[in-house]
Structure 1
């Protein structure tokens, strides 16, 4: 399909998003932006969060990794299920009991202002790096397949995409992205299904026959039983559980949408529905990866990893399927950035600037501050996308999970201390304890051969990081002199 025609479809898709944004952001207030006035429909939130959780990284990286890792990603998926159950049972009741707008206000109430600011800062760091890495991957594919041939430079493509996102999130925030994410998730899943059907027909195989062929080539292997391997089964399951607890339950972007639902019961239904949909969708992505691994040698496709799926689509699929692929890819692109910019703006305004606390600020001045922060994060996203372009990793999903291990560990430690201990902390030392965990983990990873011999650290680095921060908080803690208020007790 000619690049100019694909570009026209991209613009038409964006126009549709702007129409949805206009309809949903009328009469929006700061509360609409931050938590959707607590009136979001839980079914829409659950479906839309699928797109936010998966993003463009999953769309190309998970299928591309099957040729190397088989279906080993299902080990992580099992951990995800355990993590979602923990978030629904423990964290959501706490957030609703405290009636939070920012989940890091729990840390403020339980451990003090420094703990809240530390948690918010690590969320900002983690979500900024993670969202820009996801955004970079999809923008890079759009650049290579469409815009290079039109003579458009990469920086301009990135700036245009961020401008699009700003235009439809600027006023409505959560109130808007609940609807736009639902639309985008539908587009992504439709593209996934169509690509699977096309590959099955191209290979002339049924679902059962294709699984047999994959099994014969060793693509369906799931369990890794080598304890020293980073992909060892129990490492992956535990890591998957804590990744979900950290990247969903302790993440303002994910929880901002969840707590925009009116009641706790509906929020829990939202999260458990998301869990069930994700298991099915991730399994389908792995199946697609197996089909790509079978098809690529027959078609003479030499690409691998993140480049495999785009190479097969653009080189060997008809124009109609290419169009569906790009719609799906763009649908995966926007949820990975719109919710992130909205949540980062919310956290910065509420937890670091304290706009909600300041009675001297009018609604109009709060809105002006919110707009400035929103624009600032868009500029930062553009800068970081250019940095990722310079790095150009072969598998961005590995980069994302590695970043999560370092940046979500302090959040895990802070919340664990608050929930599991009745002790209080010396506030001024909290930022140091939060920083010590990632720094010690960097040392462990750097010298793991000397320390652990043949054992290799994997995704369990997140758990180790959380435990180190938890230990540091205990070191700077004091006995609780009086019982914590009932509202703050886990």
Structure 2
């Protein structure tokens, strides 16, 4: 019962913030927060928006298989955020964009614009729904089963809550609610670490020394080039992950584009870019402490990494306080990701697909319809009840960002001339070729692709666009609106 009461209080705070920020809201408020967002609030809120509920659960368990080598990727995030701040943001601000995919229309052509927007909508709906589904399963198992609530009711209620507090204020509301949710997530994480250390009679200093002395504290891998954990592969991949999944993602960029000036947006992005190393260090340190705790009892660690934190935090083994903190942390991190996803998809649908950014009625209908589709996707994953389906969706999402990387890189560095009529085919064929190459490399060379597959995907798309410019019928009359 105390968990339910805590959640009620939590959502009362969120709705209070929503009520205040959505007063006299217009489409300009919903899409761009009237470009008046304080940069420091955007920066703080983006930490939570970038850490999904799945991340909250999964990252601590990474130490079971890869120690703390994930921090190599997080280090790569920093130059990635600088690249977005000083290469992409100036372009978006100079063009005064609401949707970043309009850039493709200006530089490459109409089909490129639609292809970019469609790839975003496909990947965001699938990826966000899978992530939220996993969180719903966790909450259903550890919270709502206890009060007899059916899973479909849980999903409908949770998505309805997101729809209710975002339907008027949109991104303006998210700037402030994400800050509240980030604060809740970080407090929950820190207090869970404190409780875990206390359960082993450790002070904060003792816990830090124990983590540092552990074999699982290994961060750097320089000696194995074939390993997916190699430092340079992880570091460079981290840079490209940020460029693509932040700089080329309407979901992540929309709030950054609401800052008053380009300079403030750059300060915002660089600030929260540095935050991911210490935040993920805390998550991984929690994982090490949980492994120590398991070693003191009878718990077996022949489990997947995703089960490490729930095994202790959600079962009550560490007390009711940790159960409450775990629930708040998962809800805060998952809602701050899902609400951004629904708002950005509504924006892209109205601005990119329908080209009616001023139509209030369309925006409201689209926001409701996308929320309904979100529920349908989640319930579909539940019906399939197969980890292979979920894995397939994650793989699909990882492939769909590569063409966006290739198209934006082409627009920035190769000029506006392109075979626009061929762009949709190039964008589809590049991931297919990547899949074939990945399978061949694993079977013939014993090489396992990691995040670097994203770079290969983008490079294939870029090469395909270069070749398309030499096909006269594909280029004729399709140069981007602005040329070069």
* Category of TM-score, reference length = shorter chain: over 0.9
* Counterpart in the other structure of 1:343: 344
Residue 277 of structure 2 aligns with which residue?
A: 279
Q: Distance in 2 between matches of 1:392 and 1:369?
A: 36
- Aligned 8 A contact 1:405 1:465 in 2: no
Map of 1:45-194 to 2, 5 A cutoff?
45-194=42-191
Tell whether the 8 Å contact from 1:423 to 1:477 is kept in structure 2 after alignment.
no
The match for 1:456 among 438, 448, 456 is: 448
> Contact between 1:76 and 1:237, CA under 8 Å: does it hold in 2?
yes
* Number of equivalent positions: 474
1:378 to 371, 381, 385: 371
Query: 5+ unaligned residues in a row in structure 2: which ranges?
Result: none
RMSD between superposed Cα atoms in Å:
2.4
TM-score by length of 2: 0.92
Distance change >3 Å, CA 212–CA 169, structure 1 → 2: same
Deviation at 1:487, TM superposition (A): 8.1
Q: 1:423 to 1:354 in 2, by over 3 A?
A: closer
Summarize deviations over 1:370-423 as a string: whole Å, max 9, x none. Answer: 122112211221122234333554998x87874443011010000000111125
1:288 to 286, 289, 303: 286
- 2:306 paired residue number: 306
Question: Which of 4, 14, 26 is matched with 1:17 structurally?
Answer: 14
Partner of 1:430: 423
Tell me how far apart the structure 1 counterparts of residues 244 and 115 of structure 2 sit (CA, whole Å): 15
1:333 Cα deviation after fit: 1.7
Match of 1:359 in 2: none
Answering whether residue 411 of structure 2 is matched by residue 418 of structure 1, we say yes
**Residue 30 in 1 paired to residue 23 in 2?**
no
Query: Could you tell me which of 253, 260, 265 is aligned with 2:251?
Result: 253
Deviates more, 1:198-207 or 1:21-30: 198-207
Provide the C-alpha distance between the structure 2 equivalents of 1:432 and 1:487, rounded to a whole number of angstroms. 23
Tell me the TM-score normalised to structure 1 length. Answer: 0.91
Distance in structure 1 (CA, Å) of the matches to 2:277 and 2:193: 17
CA distance in structure 1 between the aligned counterparts of 2:211 and 2:329, rounded to whole angstroms: 25
Measure the CA separation in 2 of the matches of 1:460 and 1:208.
Answer: 37
Q: Say if 1:119 and 1:330 are closer, same or farther in 2 by CA, change over 3 A.
A: same
1:267 counterpart residue number: 265
Question: Match for residue 321 of structure 2?
Answer: 320
Distance 1:239 1:395 in 2: 25
Determine whether 1:201 maps to 2:194.
no
SS in 1 for 2:24: coil
For residues 116-157 of structure 1, the C-alpha deviation after alignment (integer angstroms, 9 at most, x for no partner) is: 111111111121122112212221111001111222111111
Report the CA distance between 1:233 and its aligned residue.
2.0
Q: State which drifts further: 200-209 or 138-147.
A: 200-209
- CA offset digits 1:434-475 (Å, max 9, x no partner): 111111112223333344x11111111111110111011011
Unaligned runs of 5+ residues in structure 1 are 357-362
Are residues 399 and 40 of structure 1, via their aligned partners in 2, closer, same or farther at CA, if it must alter by over 3 Å? farther
Paired with 2:291 and 2:250, the residues of 1 have a C-alpha distance of 37
